[in-house]
Amino acid sequence: MKILTVAARRFSQLPRQHRIALASTSLLVAAALVWQPNIHSPSHGSRADSDSRREVQIVTDDVISLSEQNSEPLGVVLDPEDPDFQIPKDELEQQLDQATDIAHVHRVASGETLGEIFTQYALPLADMYRLIEVDKSIQFLRVGQAIEWSLDEDGRINELSIERSPKLTDTYVLSPTGYTHQEVERTGEFKPVRLTGRVSGSFYQSARAAGLSPTQIQTLVKALQWRFDLGKDARKGDRFAITLEREFIDGKAVGQGEVKALYYLNGSNEVFAMRYDDGEFYDEDGRSLNRALNRYPTQKRFRISSSFDPHRKHPITHRVSPHNGTDFATPIGTPVLATGDGVVVKAQKHPLAGNFIMIKHGREYSTRYLHLSKILVKKGQKVRMGDRIALSGNTGRSTGPHLHYELLKYNRAVNAMKVPLPQAEPVPNKARSGYRNLASRERQNLLAVMPG
């Protein structure tokens, strides 16, 4: 059995052309062994005649499985802990990484199921099944509902909530005995609460001292990532004021509250951001603070030869062999384009990935481009969406010419073909005038409480 397992592993690591040739040869040999020419001439209807014409079924499932058009050998998995694939983190990112209650949010799109959402973000399917055992109604999702979750140090879902309506939220919490479910009904009154502070060391520590949670700080960092870097650009003496919307029951605040607006003073530089009804942040004139990302890293749409599948199993060993990217069947020399504005943080060679590039897009997203034939950018170089950064190839551990593309959100691989991508559209025209009036009043309220 061990010999068969080793043989299967060696077979799966062969180039695709060799695997197809071997599989074809094996089928021909098997057919030759099964087919026996009848050199005798027994009488018609005899038992010997019946035996010689017996049909033999050839099972080829394993052969077909092994010759699937995966662009990389199934047994090869890029180690996410490999230093070559790590994006350097500054102090702010390290502080946020150490916080255990950082939340991730997804809004349900038309036709999405709970399983599809878990797969998009590479969340453990075992956790999903345990959640369903606790409450089967968790599977019933409606378009626009917000799903929020946080992960523990092992990557398991620590808490998950589904906002069923403005008043009702389903919450699930991991305990030593498993998940618990509770329906939380909002019966209180929602009021704005304004927190203020002055940067004395890092922004993170100053915001914590002002009363903000790590999740709220993450929200601010994400909202301003393209306009003002709260890690690199914040200076001692900077002042800030933040509006939270909090629920009050019998005069007591409940929960952390949601960040609604921010006013930040960095010397003579003023930064304002306010959340609109769609959950995104805009400036005082209603312009988006986001930078958009494209879904495809090439100008032409190529066939997907291997899809994103964090739960993929080897057909012979049945071991999980995750594929954390999307492979496009691109001919060698196809121009590879940056899918968004960013900074090149890696541009080098790797035994498995071949020539590869990593680009950091703000503080939330990053992208990887593997198996390139030629790199056209350098580490530290700034790129814009659509810039030509490389030519696709067949370098590293690859079974044929292709481009392996990865999208990471907060350093965790997600399905680039499915997850919602940031857009940079302004507040809709019909609502912009009303938004500007609200933003002007909110800016004045924050400026009034700003520390002197």
For residue 74, give the nearest of 353, 397, 402 by alpha carbon.
Answer: 397
SS3 274: strand
Q: Cα separations (Å) of 100 from 151, 176, 215?
A: 7, 17, 9
More confident residue, 201 or 195: 195
Pairing of strands 335-337, 342-350: unpaired
Q: How confident is the model at residue 154 (pLDDT cuts 50, 70, 90)?
A: confident
Residue ranges making up the domain that contains 257: 189-290+428-449
The reply to whether 341 and 361 lie within a common domain is yes
The verdict on 311 and 397 lying in the same domain is yes
Average pLDDT of the residues in 65-89: 68
Please provide the DSSP assignment of 389-407 as one string.
Answer: EEEEB--SS-SSSBEEEEE
- The residue type of 275 is R
Q: Which residues contact 364 (CB under 8 A, 6 or more apart)?
A: 222, 225, 409, 410, 422
Q: What angle do CA 228, 234, 235 make, to 5 degrees?
A: 145
Residues in Cβ contact with 237 at an 8 Å cutoff, skipping those fewer than 6 apart: 198, 199
- Whether 299 is covered by a domain: the verdict is no
User: Do the domain assignments include residue 364?
Assistant: yes
Indicate whether 181 and 194 sit together in one domain.
Answer: no
Contact indicator for 308, 415 with CB cutoff of 8 Å: yes
Whichever domain contains 344, its CATH number is: 2.70.70.10
- In this predicted structure, the answer to whether residue 99 has a pLDDT above a threshold of 80 is no
Query: Are residues 29 and 15 part of one domain?
Result: yes
Domain boundary among 185, 207, 235: 185
Total domain count, the chain: 4
Alpha carbon 246 to its chain's center: 30
Is residue 196 one of the residues assigned to a domain? yes
Q: What pLDDT does residue 26 have?
A: 55
Give the whole-angstrom CA distance, residue 234 versus residue 177: 43
* Cβ-based burial of 31 (10 A; exposed 0-12, middle 13-18, buried ≥19): exposed
Do 165 and 201 have their domain in common?
no
CA 294 to chain centre: 14
> What is this structure's pTM?
0.75
- Calculate what percentage of the chain has a pLDDT beyond 90: 60
Residues 330 and 369 placed together within one structural domain of the fold: yes
Is 80 among the domain residues? no
